[in-house]
Structure 1
């Protein structure tokens, strides 16, 4: 399965910047849906963050999904890779 990687940076209220990738099926092009996936992920955090908009989330590239990514996308519509300051 080919997936689109959306590189995302969101400011936390404590001043740190979160960096994570939103992974979606390659053919999903609706930015609002992708932003909503990111907002849903942010709501799962126990700390406050700033807004997620087009300025914080941009298409990066296409790659092959791992089995774990495929399972998350089938279950949730998306997957997340946490990079920096996500916990």
Structure 2
């Protein structure tokens, strides 16, 4: 499966900037859906309510997904790769 990688930087409630990627099927083009996936993730890491718009989240590139990421996308529509300051 090829996935679209959305590079995301969100300012946490403590002021640090968290960096994570939202991965979706390459055919998913609806930014609002992608932003909602990011907001679900933020809620899971206790950062609910932080802004997540095109200012914080942008399409980066298309890549081949490893099997575990592909399964996650098929099951829930998206996968998150945590990069910096996610906890």
The structural deviation recorded for 1:46 is 2.8
Give the 5 Å matches for 1:31-46: 31-46=31-46
SS at match of 2:59: strand
The structural deviation recorded for 1:28 is 0.5
Give the gaps of 5 or more residues in structure 1: none
Partner Cα separation in structure 2 for residue 11 and residue 78 of structure 1: 21
The structural deviation recorded for 1:49 is 5.8
Partner Cα separation in structure 1 for residue 28 and residue 50 of structure 2: 25
Contact 2:22 2:81 in 1 (8 A): yes
Give the gaps of 5 or more residues in structure 2: none
The structural deviation recorded for 1:47 is 4.4
**Using a 3 Å threshold, how does the CA distance of structure 1 residues 40 and 47 change in structure 2: closer, same or farther?**
closer
Tell me what 1:76 maps to: 76
Q: RMSD over aligned Cα, in angstroms?
A: 1.1
Q: Which runs of 4+ in 1 moved over 6 A?
A: none
Partner Cα separation in structure 1 for residue 47 and residue 69 of structure 2: 25
